[in-house]
Structure 1
Amino acid sequence: MAELKAAVIGCGSIAKNRHLLEYEANEQVEITAVCDVVESRLTDTAEVYGAAAYTDYKKLLQDEKVDVVSVCLPNALHAPVSIAALEAGAHVLCEKPMATSSQEAQDMIDAAERNGRKLMIGHNQRFVSSHERARRLIQSGEIGNIYSFRTTFGHGGPEGWSADGKNSWFFDKDKAFIGAMGDLGVHKADLLRYLLGEEFVNVAGFIENNAKEDITVDDNAVCILRTESGIIGTMAASWAYVPEEDNSTVIYAEKATLRLEDDPVHSLVLQYASGEVVKYELGQIQSNDAGGQTNTHVIDHFVESVVNDKQPLIDGYEGKLSLEVILKALESEETGKISK
């Protein structure tokens, strides 16, 4: 018998293709309630999973005694709904970016601590096999001192996979707060912090809407970042990469260069200064395209954290630090100065 009762609030694409599937596949979880303001989508989802259906998340939290809640809503709703769920006594897995401001993020952290609940942010890049292996190589000293990096995450845009297509909330600043930088850039900010084991002290952001018409958020962004020890590099996020997605990261170090998700076959390529090349086949990175890995490991890790009373790998503090990289990039674009 399942140990945990789960509710998924928001039944759009991320819930349909990730959260719901992965909860259903986890034997320790039973999906007992779902919520969405679009009744047709809600009804279909509730029928598939045999769950109670709600159009009002407050009523769901009042009526259903659930152990865990996934918040899969537009970015502007992440903080208020997560806080409500935490106050109702549920552990919360919130999609990224965790909030629209540093203060909102802190409010979520405070709510989790006040209620003795877990708060995890859905940064799935940390669970990718090539990224996990690269972190171990870096920490072991195998590649020596790191000097520089470049990372990018781009595809054709949310209209290709979002439940509402071109009418998606992703393109509306009031609901999304930020575009490609919030959708994709924050993933890479979190990954870089995880790989390098350092925080960024300087951020220069160049953020544009130059590819798509009739949207009120960015669709292309490039950031220059510097860590506390002086590692410098670039981070790009785009909704204008066609026809293929680019989700690659390259780390330039003293003894070797690490190429992550930069080769169609070998997800990790280690190029030593000696000329030796080591190639790893570690499975595909999770993708929105057909053929991407099904299990992101995010839900499994969240469930394990709750069941075994462990701190999640990406807790509220980690989510807030990754969000703040993006906030600094926005500040830099607005002021024309390097954010510190």
Structure 2
Amino acid sequence: MKKLKVGVIGCGSIARRRHLIEYEANEQVEIVAVCDLKAERAAESAKKYAAKAFTDYKELLRLAEIDAVSICLPNYLHAPVSIDALMAGKHVLCEKPMATSEEEAKAMIEAAEMSGKKLMIAHNQRFVSSHQKAKELIDSGKLGKIYSFKTTFGHPGPEAWSIDGAGSWFFNKEQAFIGAMGDLGVHKADLMRYLLGEFTEVGAFIETNAKENTEVDDNAVYILRTSSGIIGTLAASWSYVTGGDNSTVIYGEKGVLRLEADPVYSLIEEYRTGETVHHKLDKIQTNEEGGNTTTHVIDHFIECIINDKEPLISGEEGMKSLQIVLAALESNETKQIISLKQGAEVI
């Protein structure tokens, strides 16, 4: 079988610890090119994966043999580089958040439609075993009516994760646009949409109170409501100094689901009857040494290309999750609850 030939644009930590590793592990893929503005980084990854090295992504896109690319760049470059790649006839897997504005997100979606190529956003929370099992339980009606939720994604910050440490683009407002909200919060916005459906109203408090020498947010709390009246909170933080928290709790009429909230059991079902079910499932991916780093994002992207399927997190899905973050920014600025129907056009 002919292998899909892929390129990776950006050779920082997300490329090294996720995309390149997972492409290499997929037997249907051949990594043929990598690109980074820093020539030594591109050369290092090129040597490791027997690929061509570039410092100009447009030169990489001129390679006719490339079928698909991953965009692993600072947030402000996601839209322009994705659009260039799509218009060059490449399928695109773009890191999150997909863009820095709704206008950029729409332009990416239009480019995918015009080119006939796949556009997928790298939200990995939908592929976590406990999250998929929770959706199955919610959709089955076992919990009855869903009342509320709380979800959080926090860790000490990107200093230890980013290849550039404390000098990383993550802390540069012009390059990052947003901080913990874009790094972590948009993941949870996407997850809660996946589990509970669309949100219609957003309120938020956003602060920069944990990190120095930066203007991007490092702590954010959203209040969210669906059209059916489910309400809950979403927290994104770079201030959890003793380690990460990637947990979610769903409160329903007949019981409670605890996701990634226990060190042993990935999912715990608790019912008002007294019944409790403990699930030992594949662990959620982590950045810690020895932790699970398989996201299943790459495998899904490749499967969608080969079988001509719509990605689970398409451009449209990525934009809807981004709209929640944009509405949270507007809420914090205006001190008002923002209607997603009014504040952002939902496709």
Normalised-by-shorter TM-score class = over 0.9
State how far apart, in whole Å, the 2-side matches of 1:79 and 1:184 are.
Answer: 19
CA offsets 1:53-102 (integer angstroms, 9 cap, x no match): 11011111124531010000000000000000000000000000000001
User: 2:77 matched to 1:77?
Assistant: yes
State how far apart, in whole Å, the 1-side matches of 2:61 and 2:312 are.
Answer: 26
State how far apart, in whole Å, the 1-side matches of 2:18 and 2:242 are.
Answer: 23
Check the 8 A contact 1:120/1:316 in 2, yes or no: yes
State how far apart, in whole Å, the 1-side matches of 2:108 and 2:31 are.
Answer: 24
State how far apart, in whole Å, the 2-side matches of 1:148 and 1:84 are.
Answer: 41
- Structure 1 alignment gaps of length 5 or more: none
| Residue type of the alignment partner of 1:8 | V
Name the residue aligned to 1:86.
86
Name the residue aligned to 2:294.
295
- Structure 2 alignment gaps of length 5 or more: 340-347
Name the residue aligned to 1:115.
115
| Residue type of the alignment partner of 1:6 | V
CA offsets 1:88-122 (integer angstroms, 9 cap, x no match): 00000000000000110010000001010000000
Name the residue aligned to 1:321.
320
Structure 1, 58-67 or 317-326: larger mean CA deviation: 58-67
| Residue type of the alignment partner of 1:328 | A
| Residue type of the alignment partner of 2:331 | S
| Residue type of the alignment partner of 2:52 | A
Check the 8 A contact 1:2/1:27 in 2, yes or no: no
Check the 8 A contact 2:130/2:266 in 1, yes or no: yes
Name the residue aligned to 1:203.
202
Name the residue aligned to 2:344.
none
CA offsets 1:108-139 (integer angstroms, 9 cap, x no match): 00000101000000000000000000000000
Name the residue aligned to 2:167.
167
| Residue type of the alignment partner of 1:230 | G
State how far apart, in whole Å, the 2-side matches of 1:310 and 1:108 are.
Answer: 18
Name the residue aligned to 1:126.
126
CA offsets 1:131-175 (integer angstroms, 9 cap, x no match): 000000000001100000000000000001100000000000100
Check the 8 A contact 2:96/2:122 in 1, yes or no: yes
State how far apart, in whole Å, the 2-side matches of 1:3 and 1:89 are.
Answer: 17
Check the 8 A contact 2:287/2:293 in 1, yes or no: no
State how far apart, in whole Å, the 1-side matches of 2:167 and 2:215 are.
Answer: 12
CA offsets 1:16-50 (integer angstroms, 9 cap, x no match): 00000000010111000000001111111110011
SS of corresponding position for 1:42: helix
Deviation beyond 3 Å, 4+ runs, structure 1: none
User: 2:199 matched to 1:190?
Assistant: no
Check the 8 A contact 1:148/1:253 in 2, yes or no: yes
State how far apart, in whole Å, the 1-side matches of 2:89 and 2:125 are.
Answer: 28
SS of corresponding position for 2:62: helix
- Residue 293 of structure 1 deviates from its aligned partner by 1.4
Check the 8 A contact 2:152/2:188 in 1, yes or no: yes
Name the residue aligned to 1:218.
217
TM-score using structure 2 length: 0.97
State how far apart, in whole Å, the 2-side matches of 1:63 and 1:246 are.
Answer: 41
Name the residue aligned to 1:12.
12
Name the residue aligned to 2:233.
234
SS of corresponding position for 2:182: helix
> Identity of paired residues, percent?
66
SS of corresponding position for 1:243: coil
Check the 8 A contact 2:266/2:281 in 1, yes or no: yes
Name the residue aligned to 1:37.
37
State how far apart, in whole Å, the 2-side matches of 1:337 and 1:100 are.
Answer: 21
Aligned residues: CA RMSD: 0.8
Going from structure 1 to structure 2, the CA distance change for 1:157 and 1:167 (only over 3 Å counts) comes to same
